[in-house]
Amino acid sequence: MIEKQSDNVENLEENVSEEININDESSEIENQISENNQSPELNDEKIDAEDLKNTITNNDARLEQLEKEHETLKSQYVRIAADFDNFRKRQSRDQDDLKVQLVSKALTAILPIVDNFERARQQLKPESEEAQTLHRSYQGLYKQLVEVLKQQGVSPMRVVAQQFDPNLHEAVLREPSQEFNEDIITEELQRGYHLEGKVLRHALVKVSMGPGQQNSQEPEEKDKVEEDVDSESSISEEN
């Protein structure tokens, strides 16, 4: 009887030991399953973090490239805008110069007519009433022509007693003078004109050589110059 009970006790202990082992094994299996279930989530989080980091890096590189392209395009725009502004100013300046050239050409062609009016006014001495009437009509036309020139910006030079300037005057005679110092204009042989501050026609003048100086021109040359001057005419100031 005692032996039988002893066997039962041993069997009971064996069963308990087996149950404990089974429980331990089950716990280990559950832990492994739990670890296996958690590992993919951790891996996914790690992969997502790496992808996000790569994305940020790529975006930074792309942003830097776009900023460089923006600076390049901005520089090109500024350069093109400056070139266009220079082109516009150059075109405007060229148009103004062309306009001045055309006006100068037309007015220069009119000046000999003014010279002829001036020569006729100086030479004609009307005596009869009919001649005086004709002369007044003639002078009216002359004044109208002079007024048109003024409206176009033409102004006559005043040269007598002025210092000779080759940019404004053309000396055709040089003579000794007791009244004027050297290189002072003593006489206007043909009126010069300005157009908007620029020389439209140089004045033909006689220049002083100073007191006690001898005229260095040869007689034949002087006669030729005087003939050339006589072929030109001058215009005097309006009274």
Domain parsing of the chain, residue ranges: 1-30, 155-233
Q: 60: pLDDT confidence band, cut at 50, 70 and 90?
A: confident
User: Does an H or E element contain 195, and which?
Assistant: strand 193-195
- If you average pLDDT over residues 11-35, what whole number do you get? 55
Q: How many CB atoms lie within 10 A of CB 171?
A: 16
Domain 155-233 sits in CATH 2.30.22.10: yes
Least confident range of 21-35, 62-76, 88-102, 179-193? 21-35
Q: Is the pTM of this model over 0.75?
A: no
